[in-house]
Chain A
Amino acid sequence: MIWDAIDFVCREAALQLRRERLIAISTVSTVAVLLVVLGSIALFVMDLRAWTGWMTGQLEVWGFFQSDVPRADATNALEPIADWPEIQDVKFVTKEEAWQRQKQDFPSIAKLEDAIDNPLPDAVRIKVREPQYTAAVADKLARVSGIDAVRWGGGLAQQLVKFKRIVNWVALVVSLLVLVAAVFIVHNTIRLALHSRWREIYIMQLVGATRTTVAGPFLLEGTLHGILGAALACCVLVPAHMYLRDLAEHSFFPLAPDRALLFFALHLLLAGALLGLTGSIFSIRRYLRQKPDWHR
């Protein structure tokens, strides 16, 4: 019995998809356009997150040891630091390594090598997991025995935290607005499509079909339209993002990795299915309950 019902819903939906091509084209294209807009916002947010993650990876907290601290004591001090939960990576930088890098970065210093002694102390370089941890890590590091001075990009870290928060909120609000608009537009598109089939829906009920029997194929049809629209949007957005990512690979603005696109595509397909389904539910309810004007 239940299989007969499922079979019936599938056959009816397939019949409608085959026969009502114009309706299918208009619904699928509407969903596709809306999801390209919504998906673009989602990709933009993903990329900004990837960028802030990348920027976070660039944030470093430096701690400089007092010049009279023996190197063995300095390296011992690193062990508890490595266990701090906020940090991603910790590295001891000897004053010789630091001096060498200075000379590489500033060739003019190399010319004066004979004239001046290495003025740099031994140091510890820490990378934090999230930008908001930077200040706390710098504070903790300043209290480590033997540390003379701490340097960190305080302003940049705080700006990054603020920026990330604003991006999240703006993305959430804009996505919600676009989503509401999308539901409204898809609902109206499906409603217009169903309007032409109002009599058909009514006749189905006159010959004894239950509301579920009538609505089932329309809901499946709407869901399939949504998935097809989402698939079209994926066909536009995914290759476009892959192309942009290739362009930006070695730039200061690396985009979200390609593996993230798989999850993005799956979410977009789900969003398309839900858009089609909810749009159909809102639309069909009206036509199931009202009698068409038969003589118009």
Chain B
Amino acid sequence: MPACIELKNVSVVYPNGVAALSGVNLAIDHGEFAFLVGATGHGKSTLLKLLYREELPTEGQVFVSGWDVPRLSPSRVARLRRRVGVIFQDFRLLPRTAWENVAFALHATGTPYRDVRRRVPEALTDVGLLDKADDFPSSLSSGEQQSLAVARVLAVRPPLILADEPTGNLDPASSQHVMSLLADASAKGATVLAATHDPAIVNAMRRRVVALRSGRIFLDTPKGRYPDDLGRD
């Protein structure tokens, strides 16, 4: 069985000449929970974007569940994205109510209506937003928007969850809650790759830690801690 995520000698150079990733090799198994750590601008988001095909590698190969991601046709890209739930750093919520945001993701993944009606309130309850189901993202706080982005992914129950700074706008208690939801999803079989530069979260959970510096992996340890020499932004 192929690894859930596999990067082989991947490099990404942006049109302005900036090398976001250089020769990255990484394999993450199904059901694994891993943190991707590194200072801002050192390639965490770029690596995640490769996995749901928002970016293409300049060199190397990217596989998700055995699928050669850069070579997917547009219809296959949609199928890939149904299997990959992404919690975006900038939330990327639709200008619709909280309920409709979660419901759209379920509809997009082909969930029948009766299941949508059941799973939306469940997901909103999990993140404590059920009482704001009819609110638009513009009327939610940053933390609430982030929670909604988390609910949107958890409702779909994808086999792979990519989280880009999932706790960046949350208070410590909410951060712990969101991370416990992600850990639950992992315990149920989902693979989770969470990019963060929050040492408290990483050190508390003691999961695999992959550290990036200047677009290269310089540390990859199971049950690791946040590297002291990485620094915070």
Name A residues whose Cβ lies closer than 8 Å to a Cβ of B: 1, 4, 7-8, 15, 19, 199-200, 203-211, 213, 291, 294
Cα distance, A204 to B54, chains bound together (Å) = 13
In contact, B81 and A205 (Cβ under 8 angstroms): yes
- Residues of A contacting B110 with CB < 8 Å? 1, 4
Residue with the highest number of chain B CB atoms closer than 10 Å, among A19, A200, A208: A208
Task: Considering the complex, give the chain A residue whose CB is closest to the CB of B53.
Answer: A206
Distance to closest chain A CB from B155 (angstroms): 11
- Residues of B contacting A4 with CB < 8 Å? 110, 112-113
- Residues of B contacting A199 with CB < 8 Å? 92
B67 CB-CB contact with A under 8 Å: no
Cα distance, A291 to B105, chains bound together (Å) = 19
In contact, A204 and B104 (Cβ under 8 angstroms): yes
Task: Considering the complex, give the chain A residue whose CB is closest to the CB of B88.
Answer: A206
Chief secondary structure at chain A's binding surface: helix
In contact, B74 and A206 (Cβ under 8 angstroms): no
B75 CB-CB contact with A under 8 Å: yes
Known: A4-B113, A7-B113. A208 touches B94 (CB 8 A): no
Known: A200-B94, A203-B94. A211 touches B105 (CB 8 A): no
Residue with the highest number of chain A CB atoms closer than 10 Å, among B78, B81, B92, B95: B78
Chief secondary structure at chain B's binding surface: helix
Cα distance, A246 to B104, chains bound together (Å) = 54
Task: Considering the complex, give the chain A residue whose CB is closest to the CB of B84.
Answer: A208
Distance to closest chain A CB from B9 (angstroms): 25
In contact, B152 and A207 (Cβ under 8 angstroms): yes
Distance to closest chain A CB from B163 (angstroms): 14
Cα distance, A52 to B152, chains bound together (Å) = 66
Task: Considering the complex, give the chain B residue whose CB is closest to the CB of A8.
Answer: B107
- Residues of B contacting A294 with CB < 8 Å? 90
Name B residues whose Cβ lies closer than 8 Å to a Cβ of A: 52, 54, 74-75, 77-79, 81-83, 86, 88, 90, 92-96, 100, 104-105, 107-110, 112-113, 152, 156
Cα distance, A8 to B108, chains bound together (Å) = 9
Residue with the highest number of chain A CB atoms closer than 10 Å, among B52, B82, B108: B108
Task: Considering the complex, give the chain A residue whose CB is closest to the CB of B82.
Answer: A208
Known: A7-B113, A204-B108, A206-B52. A211 touches B93 (CB 8 A): no
Task: Considering the complex, give the chain A residue whose CB is closest to the CB of B86.
Answer: A206
In contact, A206 and B95 (Cβ under 8 angstroms): no
In contact, A15 and B108 (Cβ under 8 angstroms): no
In contact, A207 and B75 (Cβ under 8 angstroms): no
Cα distance, A206 to B162, chains bound together (Å) = 12
- Residues of A contacting B86 with CB < 8 Å? 206-207
* Shortest beta-carbon contacts, A-B, top 6: A208-B82, A209-B108, A208-B81, A210-B78, A207-B105, A208-B108
